[in-house]
Structure 1
Amino acid sequence: MSQSLAIQLAERLRSEPLDLVRIAGEIAERSGYGLYLVGGAVRDLLLGQANLDLDLVVEGDAVELARALQRQAGGEVLTHPRFGTAKLRRGDLLIDLATARAESYEHPGALPTVRPSTIVDDLARRDFTINAMAIHLDASNFGRLVDPFGGQEDLSRKRVRVLHDNSFIDDATRMLRAVRYEQRFDFRLDPATERLLRRDVSMLHTVSGDRTRHEVELILREPCPEKALARAEGLGLLAQIHPSLRGNGWVAEKFRTARATAHPPALGLYLSILVYHFTDQEVEDLATALKLPGATARVIRDSVRLRQSLHALETPELSPSTAYRFLEDYSPTSILACAIASDSPLVQTRLKLYLDRWRHVKPSLDGQALQRMGIPPGPRIGRMLRALLEAKLDQRVRTRSEEANLVRLWMSQEK
């Protein structure tokens, strides 16, 4: 096993990170430290998938090891001695180092209390067995797998399993993570783990909105987030975030359309589709519950506000300039969300015309050109430029000379 993992490490890592990891292992061994690669990189290595995250755990002083590695290999080091962590950056390569630690929780949803410990204790604090494996990096044991909780077997059985019965009570965000991993890898929750999740689903309220939002954002960054959302709805997780959230077939269809339209879809676009049928109050409640950043909250508010007024775009004789005036104060993301989510072909067409064409239209003449034509500086310039824009949108003028002729006509009418 150790030989095969050493070979896999050599195959998966580029020469530079592999050399750095080997140097770190040699330094650790000289210092009497154990050094391990941990986390998703180990899991993905065993799955044969690419993952260049270099998260290292040290049975010893991670800060000192990072400084010693910098002295020998170069790069920049950022240390956090209070937390026993350090980052080494060399070019575009980043290595995270942390002192092995054990942790305990004072109450459900609390951040853990940690203390220095062993690699086994460090792995025991992980969320799932498939993430609770490590690989020796010290020179004499390089490549040997550390798997105290059966993570490799769970990988082969394609199951997501927690390490203990209070896992979701200690950290309820693990429930959202479980669904994300299950759907990403096409695994299934271990039956006992699913029973624990259903038992503890209400514990999601014990964690902060920031932490819940972070997990939701990670789900939305998955290649097909609708799969995890559908599963989360079936398990009762979405209802814990907000009773009106759905992960149904309509959402799946619109998410697929979003991916075909935007590459990749912005988080705000996915969120706007999720809240498309919300009321104003429901949007505010969700924004508060997830502590959404101001810009994101504005996008989803815009989307719901626009959805409520889309009937205005269904008038057959509506001019482009009128549609432009109607849409110009909405964010492009909210307009795109409504173009995807609306069931009206005419509305979809006009929203897409605005995004693809109308919002980019500009008069050929500018303020200086108007002044050269004899219009004095002031508000009149702005009004004329706006009128030129609307004339160009409605194709009443197409060229610079036609714009100039129209301005001369207006000037003559004002005399």
Structure 2
Amino acid sequence: MADYIYLLESRLSKDQQHALNVLREIARERGLTIFLVGGAVRDLTSGSPVRDLDVVVQGNALKLKKDIEKAGGIISGESDAGQALFVRFPGSVRLEFGSTLTTTYPKPGKPVSKPAGILDDLRRRDFTANAMALSLNAGSFGLLMDPLNGVADIENRELRLVSNYGFIEDPIRMVRAARLMARLGWGMDEKTQSRYETGKQEGYISAASAFSRGYEAEEVVHEEDPIRVLKRLESEGWLKEIAPFWTAAKANEAELERLRESQTQLQMQGIHPSPAAANFPLLTAKMSAKEIADFKATFPRVGFVREIENLETEAKDLAAQLTAKTAALPSQAWKLLYSAKPEAVLQIAFSSKSSAIQAKFKSFFTEWPQAKQKVPYALMQEMRIVPELAGYDAFVESLVFELMDGKLTDPDHLKAFLEPFSPPAPPPPVHLRRPRAPKKDAKPKGRAKKQAADESGEPSDQAATNSDEAAAEIASSSAPVAAPAPPVAKKAIPAKAAPAKVAVVQPVAAKTAPAKAVKSIAASAPAAKATPLKAAPAKVAKKAVPAKVVPAKAAKKTVAKAVPAKKSAPSKVAPAKSSKASAQKAPAKKQAAKPAPKPVAKAALKKVAAKVPVKAPLKAAAKPAPKPVAKGAKVVAKPAAKKTVPAAKKTAAAKKRR
């Protein structure tokens, strides 16, 4: 359906589309369904030029005669038997408007028609290629109806009878088959060809009606190449049946060819005349006046006869206007030719002997159209004259006429002509920059960060660094260190600040840390209370976590283990045997500041201490401070002595007695 909608919009001329829209509106107002049928659908499907239109409605088409005339259509003839009107619309649109019928043939060549639907109407037609319809109704516009598979025959370029008795029922179909084969270059399928030959031998054509004979004779005149069709009919023997006094020898073949050339030139310039009226005098050039009059009397379209007779008068009037002062300029002559009747333009272009008229037509075909190529579209774009402006097409047309008349040869004159049509330049765009909003959650940097940490009561980065240095010194010493108990904060510390790291050591041995190391630890943790130290190997925590209370039995197996400052991990309890190796791996680098453990309330510590059995602290043997160790030397931590446990029990008993 979409394909045929596209074909209706692209293959038909604007005048043909206008004619169809007029008929569609009339049918809609009357409540009738309307279809495009016959040769128009065939030509749309096959790609041939659409010469005329066949339209039917499901109703009596003769009753719509006045409506068509009010809409601008000219009735050139009618057929009561077929309930059809022959209509001419502006733009040389030839149209046949009829009713959907079903036809029977009691006798050959004498049809009896009755109103019917669109499918029955298609089945009464001559060939399958002509038995197709396109809906022109609003709900189904572009819908193709092809009950007899005419599309397949169009692809095969064949004519196939709808009915096996088609040539018997209506013998004029044999003449029509020969005419279509001459125009389209098609053939007939095998069965149709056999019936065609039988009809010629049996003389079926004798039963054809006078109306049908005159209709086919007129259709020859409307052909684009009538001389070829005329010769084909003459060779088949049909010309003497439809027009006995007419032969191809009586036509002026050379002038017909020249007329076709003039028609082609006009079509290239957008003027589309119907050549039928101009063809008739050339096709009957060697016939007598009486034969011509008798020939015209057989035509079913009386309006077409009037067109033939009035063509010479219309051509003379147009020639007088074209040579007058009102058409002296090229633009004036151009406008006159486009506003005149196309058939009259074709007639004077072909037959006028005036040198002035022929010179103007030569310029019309060759020189004047070049003005369209001189339109300065680049300059117009710079001056903001674009197709989106209102009245753009009319302005371009006026510019073409000025260029055609040779008035805008100078660039300054051209720019002066374009200036009034140039719209004002748009104002420059305004860029509003929004001020950058201050960051609400900006972190303090440098001294401000240190000051903020001091005001909040949290240890600074320097304190964290001192704590890390002290822990590294404890890990490198040969003697185990008795670390202080987990500190108890005096007040809650905010979670955002980064407090110092505190080394937590579990009590294992009775030996104490050197005095310098203990002092450095105490200096690095100002917020912690001084608590009694328990003898244990040195242990540096990777990550500051709350200290755990370890029973005395587990303390025997713990050992200090130094952890690098880059990697942070929770402290683990290691067996005593691995203390020697772990002490060797402890680097002397500074550890980065880590988040401080959350403060532990005093009440919570008391509860934990009550549950865990506490043994008396071991006596710390007084030893001299260790000798300074050179850089790069390995330090080995000695394991704690097992005999320190009884001494710790004695110390605890002594404290109780005090």
How far the C-alpha of 1:292 sits from its partner, in A, is: 3.6
Q: d(CA) in 2 for partners of 1:135 and 1:74?
A: 23
Contact 1:62–1:97 under 8 Å retained in 2: yes
Counterparts of 2:298 and 2:245 in 1: how far apart (Å)?
22
Q: Which whole-Å deviations, capped at 9, do the CAs of 1:109-167 have from their partners, x for residues lacking one?
A: 22x21111111111122222111110011222110111111221111111122211211
Report the Cα distance in structure 1 between the residues aligned to 2:222 and 2:64, rounded to whole angstroms.
34
Q: Which amino acid aligns with 2:188?
A: L
Q: Is the 8 A contact 1:36 1:135 kept in 2?
A: yes
Offset of residue 184 of structure 1: 0.6
Deviation at 1:176, TM superposition (A): 1.1
Partner of 2:5: 6
Q: Which residue of 1 aligns with 2:100?
A: 100
Q: State how 1:46-125 maps to structure 2 within 5 Å.
A: 46-51=45-50, 53-60=52-59, 62=61, 74=71, 97-110=97-110, 112-125=111-124
* 2:41 match: 42
Q: Give the direction of change, closer, same or farther, for the CA distance of 1:192–1:293 in structure 2 (3 Å limit).
A: same
Distance 1:131 1:63 in 2: 23
Q: Measure, in 1, the Cα distance between the counterparts of 2:170 and 2:252.
A: 29
* In 2: Cα distance, 1:27 partner to 1:154 partner: 36
**SS of the residue aligned with 1:103?**
strand
**Aligned partner letter, 2:135:** H
Tell me: CA distance 1:255–1:177, structure 2 relative to 1, closer, same or farther (3 Å).
Answer: farther
Tell me by how many angstroms 1:187 deviates.
0.9
Specify the alignment match of 2:213 in structure 1. 212
Q: Which amino acid aligns with 2:103?
A: E
Q: Which residue of 1 aligns with 2:184?
A: 185
One-letter amino acid of the structure 2 residue matched with residue 158 of structure 1: R
**Shift of residue 209 of structure 1?**
4.7
CA deviation digits over 1:338-388, x for unaligned, max 9? xxxxxxxxxxxxxxxxxx9xxxxxxxxxxxxxxxxxxxxxxxxxxxxxxxx
Match for residue 176 of structure 1? 175
| Residues in 2 aligned to 1:99 and 1:81: alpha-carbon distance in whole angstroms | 11
Deviation string, structure 1 residues 8-35 (Cα, Å, up to 9, x no partner): 112234253454355457557xx4x432
Partner of 1:164: 163
Residues 109 and 19 (structure 1 numbering): CA distance in 2 closer, same or farther, change over 3 Å?
closer
User: Could you tell me how far apart the structure 2 residues matched to 1:240 and 1:88 are?
Assistant: 27
Identity of aligned residues (%): 28
SS at match of 1:165: coil
Please tell me the residue identity of whatever aligns with 1:107.
K
Q: Any idea what the Cα deviations from partners look like across 1:50-108, whole Å, max 9, x if unmatched? A: 436443222345467778x779x955798999975568887667765433110112211
Q: State the alpha-carbon separation in 2 of the partners of residues 215 and 85 from structure 1.
A: 16
Distance 1:74 1:225, change over 3 A: closer
Pairing 1:200–2:202 present: no
Change (3 A) 1:150 1:257: same
Task: Note the alpha carbon deviations across 1:227-274, whole angstroms, 9 max, x for none.
Answer: 445544554545766999987xxx59x76435246667754654566x
SS of 1:140's partner is coil
Q: Work out whether 1:152 is the aligned partner of 2:151.
A: yes
Query: Cα distance 1:229–1:147, how it changes in 2: closer, same or farther (>3 A)?
Result: same
Aligned partners of 1:118, 1:294: CA distance in 2, in Å?
A: 34
Does structure 2 conserve the Cα–Cα contact (< 8 Å) formed by 1:27 and 1:65?
Answer: no
Query: Can you give the 5+ residue segments of structure 1 that lack an aligned partner in the other structure?
Result: 276-282, 297-355, 357-415
Whole-Å separation in 2 of the counterparts to 1:49 and 1:145? 18
**Larger RCO: Structure 1 or Structure 2 (Cα < 8 Å, ≥ 6 residues apart)?**
1
Q: What amino acid does structure 1 have at the position aligned with 2:176?
A: R
Confirm or deny: 8 A CA contact 1:217 1:267 kept in the other structure. Answer: no
Give 3-state SS (helix, strand or coil) of 1:143's partner: coil
* Deviates further, 113-122 or 48-57: 48-57
Q: CA deviation at 1:223?
A: 3.7
Pick closer, same or farther for the CA change 1:266–1:20 going to 2, 3 Å. closer
Alignment correspondent of 2:254: 257
Supply the distance in 1 between the matched residues of 2:239 and 2:97 (Cα, whole angstroms).
35
CA displacement at 1:182 relative to structure 2: 0.8
Instruction: Normalising by structure 1, report the TM-score.
Output: 0.53
The structure with more helix, counted as a fraction of residues: 1
Deviations 1:197-229 (A, max 9, x none): 111121111224553244234335434445445
1:66–1:245 distance in 2 versus 1, CA, 3 Å:
closer
Task: Give the superposition deviation at 1:191.
Answer: 2.2
* Whole-angstrom CA distance in 2 between matches of 1:243 and 1:87: 25
User: What amino acid maps onto 1:259 in structure 2?
Assistant: L
- Which deviates the most, 167-176 or 47-56? 47-56
- Bigger Cα displacement from structure 2, 82-91 vs 118-127: 82-91
CA distance in 2, matches of 1:221, 1:230: 15
Letter in 2 for 1:35: I
TM-score normalised according to structure 2 size: 0.35
Matches within 5 A, 1:361-400: none
> How far apart, CA to CA, are the structure 2 residues paired with 1:196 and 1:81?
30
Q: Report 1:242-391 matches (<5 A).
A: 256-260=253-257, 266-267=279-280, 269-270=282-283, 292=295
2:22 is equivalent to residue 20 of structure 1? yes
- Looking at structure 2, the residues matched to 17 and 240 of structure 1 have their Cα atoms a distance apart, in angstroms, of 35
Alignment partners' CA distance in 1, 2:209 and 2:79 = 24
Q: C-alpha separation between the residues in 2 aligned to 1:269 and 1:211?
A: 23
